[in-house]
Amino acid sequence: MSMLETKERVAPNDFERMELSSLVNLAGEPISHFWPMKTFIHHNPLHGLEHLSFDEAVKMGKRFFGGRGHLPNSEYRNYYKEGRITEESISDAIKNGAQNETLNIGSRKLSRQEVLRSLLIHGTGKIATDVSSAILQQSLSPSDAKTLSEKIQGLPKCKARRESLRSYASRDQVELAVQYTLGEWCDQTLGTKVQDQINGELIKWCGGFLDEGHAPWTMPFRKKNFYNVWKELVLEDASGTLLGIPDWKSKIHNLPNRPEDAVLESLSLLAIPKALWHDYFTLQLAQLSGWAGFIKWRAEQLDYEWQRAFPIDLVMYMAVRLFYERELTALACQDKLAIDGSYTSIQSYMTQHAVGYGLHKEYHMRGLPDEMSGRLDASLFVQNPLSIDALDQCDSELISSWEEIRQQQETDVQALIVLQLSRSLDIPLQDFLESAPEALDSLLEWVDQFPESQHGPTWLKAFESSYLKGFVKHLSPNLQKLGKSDLPEEQVPVSRPLAQAIFCIDVRSEGFRRRLEEVGGNETFGFAGFFGVPICYQGYTSELPTDQCPVLLNPKHIVKEIPRAYQGEAAERFLERHHLAKTGHTLLYDLKENAITPYIMVEAIGWFFGFKLFGQTLKPEWFKNAMSWMKKCLVVPISTTLTVDKIQRDEALEMVASQHRATIYRLLIEQYDQKGAAVSHDQVERLRKLTVTQILPTDNENEELYRLLEWSEADLEQFIRVLREDYHLHQRDISRRMHRITQTGFTVVEQAHFVEMALRILGFTKSFSRLVLFCAHGSSSDNNPYESALDCGACGGNHGISNARALAVMANKAQVRQALAQKGLVIPADTHFLPGQHDTTTDEVQLFDLEEVPATHRKDLLRLQRDLHEAGEKNSRERLTRFPDEPITNGTVKALSRTKQRSVDWSQVRPEWGLSRHSTFIVGRRSLTQGMDLEGRAFLHSYDHSQDPKGRYLEIIMTAPVIVGNWINMEHYFSTVDPMVYGSGSKVYHNIVGRLGVMYGSQSDLCVGLPTQTVLDGERPYHEPMRLFTIIEAPLEIISSIIVRHDILQRLTKNQWIHIVALDPVTMEFHLYKSPDNWQAVN
C-alpha cells in the first residue's frame, strides 16, 4: 500500500504548482532543444551548459547524459603519429596545466611536465585490477615483482588511498538522487531493468502523442493534452499489469487531475528531499534527452500548429515519468530487499548494511576472487530476494582477507604503471626500486592526478594549437601580397569583372568559389545564405510557410510565390494537376498503410512498386531521369514571381472585402441558384457591411433583396449568422487578414535598407559587373531523413533560393537604386542581379527568374552558365576524391554525372560529406584566401574593415553568422566524439518516427545529432573535432569592444566554446583572443 493511500491527500496550492513548474523548466535548461527533422537545425547539444567552461560542461554532460566529451586517447595518439599534433603543442598544453615540480629517480631528474607528456603519449599502462597480478608476473621476474610490490605497499600516500568495502555504501549514499535516479540505483545494485521499462513506456506514449501525420492510425483524444490523454488511454493498456504493478487501474484513477499535483505526489512517495529536486528533474529528463528536447522546443512554440492542437510540456512528461518510477522502484525494492522504494528507505538500508552492501557491489563489479571461492558461497550474491543481510554476518577475518586481496591487486596495478613509466621514460626499473619512497610516492600521485580519463582536454588543446599554427603558416603567402596591396603606391585600378557571384558562407561553397574564380574573370563573395533578408516564405502550392532565416531571428515579413500575371490559365491547369497528384499520393499512402489492402492489392499494383524498386536499385540515375521526363509531360510549366512589394492599407482592405464578396456570392448561388446570381454588386456589398457591423438597417433599402430572394427579416438574420459563424465574416477575421496581408512584402525604404546592408556588410560597394549572381544553396538526395541537415542552416534548414530571389528583385528595382544612390551607393544602370541555387550534392547551379534578364545581357548570361558548369565539374572531381567508396577518377570521367548518381541512389548513406571537416570561419577580404585550397574546411564571409571604421557591420557578422557557425561546429564536434550519445549512430538502424525524427529500430530515444556516415570514415573520424577558429581581419580593439558589448560572445569566448583570432590589418600578425586586454600572438 502506498504512503498516500494511508492518509488523506492535501491538494497543492497555486503557489506550489507555479514553483514546481518553474523548477522543472529550469531543470530542463541542460537539455538542448530538438527541432523537427523537416527543418534540421544544427545546435550545440550542450547549449544549456554554455554558462560553464567547455571542460566543466563536458563533465556535466558526462554526468547527465553519459556522453564522452573528447575523442578516445588512441585517436589523438594516431594524430600525433601522423604529425597532426606537434611536440611543441603538447609541451604548451601540458605546461599550462602542470606545476613546475621535479623529483629524482636514480640519477635522472624528472619534471612533472616530462612525466605527464609520457603519460599522454604512451598511456599509463593501467589495466583492470582482476588481471593485474597475472600481467605483472608475466612482465617481471618474481623477485623484481615482489620487490616492487613491497615498495609500493610501504608508501604512505598509497596506504591513504586504499578503500574499504564500506566505502561503497558511503559513496552511493552521497550520489543517490544526485548522480543517478532511484530507478538507476535499482538497476545498478539489484540487477533490475527499471530504467528500460520506464523509457519503454515513455517512448510509446510520446511517439503516439507527438506524431505529426506519419501514423495511419492516430492516437485519440490528443486535444486533452499529454497527461490527460495518457490517464485515459492507459486504462485500456495492459502494460501496467505486464510490468507487475499491483492495483494498477486503481492507482491511475486516483491520480490528480493536474500534472503538477501528480509530480508533487510522486516526489512525496519517493521521499526526494526538496533540495535535490532540481538535479533530480534534470536526471529524469536526461534519460530520454531527445524526446525531452523535442517536448521542450514544442512547448515554447506557442504558434506551432501541432502544439496548439495537442498541448504538451515538460511538467506533463515529468508527471508520467515519475509515476512509473515510483511504482517500479517500489516493486523492485520490495521484491529484492523487502523495503519500499523511497529515497529515505534506500539510504537507511545502505547505512544499516554497509558491509553486506559493499560485498554485494564488489562482487557484481569485479567478481569473486579465486582465493575466496572456497571460503564464501557465491550463490549468496544471486539469490532472490538478495542475501545482503547474510553477507552482513560475514566474520571480520573473511572481510579483511577480501580487502587484502583487492589491495594487493591495486598494488599490482600501481606496479604496472611504474613499469610503463620505466619503459616510456627510458629509466631502468632498478632506479625506481632504489629511489626514495617519497619520490616514488609523489610520482604515483602525479599519475593519479592525471588519469587517462582526463587526457582529452590536454590532447584537444594540443590538437587545436597545432592546427592553428599550421593554418596561419598556410596563409602566409597571401599575407605578404595583402600587406603590399594595402600600400598606396601598390594599389592599381580595379577592372570590372565579367561576373560576380555572392555565395553562402557554407564550407561547401569554398571549393566552388575557388573553381569559378579559376575559370577567369569572375569575382566571388561570401555571405550568410539568407542574404540578410529574414522572411516567412510561402511557396506556390506549399501547404505551410517556412521561416527563411537563422533560428536566432524572427521573420516579420511574409513573401509569397505566385504565378506571373500572364500565367492565369496555365496556373489553373497547374493547380488542377497538382491537386490530382496530391490526391493520388494520399490515396497510395493510405492503401500502403491500411491493414487489409496489402492482402488484395499486391497482385493489382505490385508491379508498379516493382518497377520503382528495380529502377531505384539497379539504375538510379536512369530511373530519376525517366521520372523527371514523366513529370515534365504531366506537370504544366509555370513561371512564378515573389510578392516583394508591400500592399498599402487601402488596397489590403479592398482585398479582404473582395474575398468576402466572393464568399457571399458563392453562398447565394449555392442556396438560391439563379436568384442568388441576380443579386447586384451593391446589394452584396451591403450584405457584407451588415455582416461585419451587425447593424441591421432601419429603412427599406433591402426591400429589393427581400423581394428577389423571398426573404423575411428573420431570413436575413439567419444568412448573416451563417456568414459570421461558418465563414468567419466578422471584424476579428478582418483584423487577422489585414495583419497577414500588411505583413506581406516590404516598403521601398525597407527594400533599400536590406540591399544596402547586404552590400555594405560584404564591402561590395563598387566595381559592379553587368551580371551579379545571388547564389543560394540546397541539397538533393534520396531516402535520406537528414536531407534538411545538408540544406542552408542560415535559412532554417531550408533551400535558400527564395531569399536570393527576393533580394535580387529588390536590387533590380529603380526606386531602390535611387534610394541607394542618395546614400552614396551607386549601382550602374546596366548591372542586373540574378538569383540562383547551388546544389551542394551534384554541384549543379540552377538560375531563376531568367525572364527578367535584359536581352542586352544574353551573352553575359550564356558565359556565366558555361563558367558555372565548368566550375561545377572541377569541384565535383575534387570532392569525389574525398569519398572512400569512390574509385580514383581520371580525366575522362564526368564528375558531375557521378555526384548526380550519388544524389539519386536511395542506398547511398553518404550522398555528400556536408559540413564535415570544417575548422575555421574567416571574416575578411577575399584576397586573404584567394587561390588557396582550403579543402572545403572554411566558412568564408566577405568583409572589408576599411569600409567599416566603427565595426558596425562586423558586429552584425559576429552576433549572427558566427553564432550559427558555432552551433554547427558544436553539433559536428559532439556527434564525432560520441556518435551514440550526442550523434545519431548509424543510418542503417534508423526508423522515422512521427515525421519529427528518427529512432534506433522500433524503440529508442530520438536521435539528436548527426549520423556516423556524416562524421566518420569507417572507424576513424572524418570530421576532425575541434572548436571553431573564427579568424577576423580587423583591428583588435574593435573586435574586443564588440565582444564586451554582447553577453553571448563573452560567454562563448570566456568559456572557450569558440576561438577568436584577429588578423591585425596594420602588422599583418595573428592574435588569439584571451580577454579584452589580452591577445596572445600566434607564431
**What's the whole-number mean pLDDT along residues 957-962?**
96
pLDDT at 390 over 80: no
Nearest to 533 by CA among 543, 547, 522: 547
Cβ neighbors of 37 (< 8 A, separation 6 or more) are: 785, 786, 788, 992, 995, 996, 997, 998
Percent of the chain residues topping a pLDDT of 70? 91
**What's the whole-number mean pLDDT along residues 508-536?**
95
pLDDT at 2 over 90: no
What are residue 102's DSSP bridge partners? 111
Given the DSSP bridges, would you call strands 1016-1017 and 997-1000 parallel, antiparallel or unpaired? unpaired
319-323, 668-672, 920-924: which has the minimum mean pLDDT?
Answer: 668-672
What's the CA angle centered on 391, arms 388 and 394, to 5 degrees? 160
Q: Is 881 exposed, middle or buried (0-12, 13-18, 19+ CB in 10 A)?
A: exposed
What distances in angstroms separate CA 857 from CA 525, 715, 830, 864, one per listed residue? Answer: 21, 64, 9, 10
Work out the pLDDT band at 1, boundaries 50, 70, 90: very low
| Per-residue model confidence (pLDDT) at position 587 | 73
| Per-residue model confidence (pLDDT) at position 487 | 55
Which residue, chain included where needed, has cell 579465486?
A: 370
User: Chain-wide mean pLDDT for the chain?
Assistant: 88
Work out the pLDDT band at 867, boundaries 50, 70, 90: very high
Q: Which of 125-134, 166-175, 661-670, 849-858 has the highest mean pLDDT?
A: 849-858
Q: What is the pLDDT of residues 14-66, one digit of tens each?
A: 999 999 999 999 999 999 999 998 888 889 999 999 999 999 999 999 999 99
Instruction: Report the distance separating Cα 293 and Cα 350, nearest Å.
Output: 35
Work out the pLDDT band at 3, boundaries 50, 70, 90: very low
**Known binding site: residues?**
504, 506, 777, 792
Strand order in the sheet with 1070-1075: 938-942, 920-924, 1029-1033, 1059-1063, 1070-1075, 1078-1081
Domain ranges of the chain: 3-30+169-338, 353-392, 508-564+744-912, 567-638, 660-743
Instruction: Report the distance separating Cα 1004 and Cα 999, nearest Å.
Output: 5
Instruction: Report the distance separating Cα 226 and Cα 246, nearest Å.
Output: 24
For CA atoms 787, 789, 792, 797, the dihedral sign is: positive
Q: What is the pLDDT of residues 1047-1066, one digit of tens each?
A: 999 999 999 999 999 999 99
How many beta carbons lie within 10 A of that of residue 126, not counting itself? Answer: 17
Instruction: Report the distance separating Cα 987 and Cα 1011, nearest Å.
Output: 6
Nearest to 16 by CA among 276, 260, 270: 260
Q: Quick one: cell of 369?
A: 576472487
Phi, psi torsion values for 105, nearest 5 degrees: -120, 105
Top pLDDT among 940 and 637 is at 940
Cβ neighbors of 329 (< 8 A, separation 6 or more) are: 182, 183, 186, 194, 270, 341
Instruction: Report the distance separating Cα 478 and Cα 966, nearest Å.
Output: 26
pLDDT at 279 over 90: yes
Work out the pLDDT band at 160, boundaries 50, 70, 90: low
What distances in angstroms separate CA 486 from CA 346, 483, 927, 945, 1064, one per listed residue? Answer: 73, 5, 11, 12, 13
Top pLDDT among 474 and 678 is at 474
Work out the pLDDT band at 653, boundaries 50, 70, 90: confident
Q: Quick one: cell of 154?
A: 610501504
DSSP 755: H
Contact 551, 793 (CB under 8 A): no
Given the DSSP bridges, would you call strands 997-1000 and 1020-1021 parallel, antiparallel or unpaired? unpaired
SS3 call for 1036: helix
**Which helix (H) or strand (E) is 355 found in, with range?**
helix 354-366
Instruction: Report the distance separating Cα 1026 and Cα 513, nearest Å.
Output: 25
Peptide bond into 497 cis (omega under 30): no
Q: Which of 84-98, 245-259, 537-551 has the highest mean pLDDT?
A: 245-259
pLDDT at 5 over 60: no
Phi, psi torsion values for 532, nearest 5 degrees: 75, 10
Nearest to 412 by CA among 126, 119, 120, 123: 126
Nearest to 936 by CA among 477, 478, 512, 468: 512
Instruction: Report the distance separating Cα 546 and Cα 742, nearest Å.
Output: 18
Top pLDDT among 678 and 333 is at 333
pLDDT at 489 over 60: no
Work out the pLDDT band at 6, boundaries 50, 70, 90: very low
Instruction: Report the distance separating Cα 297 and Cα 563, nearest Å.
Output: 35
Contact 874, 852 (CB under 8 A): no
**What's the whole-number mean pLDDT along residues 96-112?**
85
| Per-residue model confidence (pLDDT) at position 608 | 67
pLDDT at 899 over 60: yes
Contact 995, 211 (CB under 8 A): yes
DSSP 44: -
What distances in angstroms separate CA 218 from CA 207, 221, 1005, one per listed residue? Answer: 10, 9, 20
How many beta carbons lie within 10 A of that of residue 345, not counting itself? Answer: 18
Top pLDDT among 394 and 21 is at 21
524-538, 598-612, 749-763, 831-845: which has the minimum mean pLDDT?
Answer: 598-612
What distances in angstroms separate CA 1080 from CA 394, 469, 1036, 1083, one per listed residue? Answer: 63, 13, 11, 9
Q: Quick one: cell of 685?
A: 456589398
What's the CA angle centered on 1071, arms 467 and 923, to 5 degrees? 80
Strand order in the sheet with 771-778: 522-527, 499-504, 771-778, 832-839, 844-847
Nearest to 767 by CA among 534, 394, 496: 496
Contact 967, 42 (CB under 8 A): yes
Contact 997, 889 (CB under 8 A): no
| Per-residue model confidence (pLDDT) at position 782 | 86
Q: What is the pLDDT of residues 68-87, one digit of tens each?
A: 999 999 999 999 999 999 99
**Known binding site for Zn(2+): residues?**
504, 506, 777, 792
Q: What is the pLDDT of residues 781-829, one digit of tens each?
A: 888 888 888 999 999 899 999 999 999 999 999 999 999 999 999 999 9
Which residue, chain included where needed, has cell 515579413?
A: 557
Work out the pLDDT band at 140, boundaries 50, 70, 90: confident
Residue 1070 falls in which region: left (phi positive, over 0), alpha (psi -120 to 50) or beta = beta
| Per-residue model confidence (pLDDT) at position 897 | 83
Q: What is the pLDDT of residues 601-647, one digit of tens each?
A: 666 666 666 777 777 777 777 777 777 777 777 777 888 999 999 88
pTM listed for this prediction? 0.91
Work out the pLDDT band at 138, boundaries 50, 70, 90: confident
Contact 385, 192 (CB under 8 A): no
Given the DSSP bridges, would you call strands 1020-1021 and 920-924 parallel, antiparallel or unpaired? unpaired
Work out the pLDDT band at 773, boundaries 50, 70, 90: very high
pLDDT at 207 over 60: yes
Instruction: Report the distance separating Cα 660 and Cα 688, nearest Å.
Output: 7
Work out the pLDDT band at 674, boundaries 50, 70, 90: low
pLDDT at 347 over 80: yes
**What's the whole-number mean pLDDT along residues 225-252?**
93
| Per-residue model confidence (pLDDT) at position 4 | 38
Across 257-307, where does the E strand assignment appear? Answer: none
Top pLDDT among 579 and 1022 is at 1022
Nearest to 768 by CA among 827, 845, 687: 827
| Per-residue model confidence (pLDDT) at position 889 | 59
Across 70-173, where does the E strand assignment appear? Answer: 102-105, 108-111
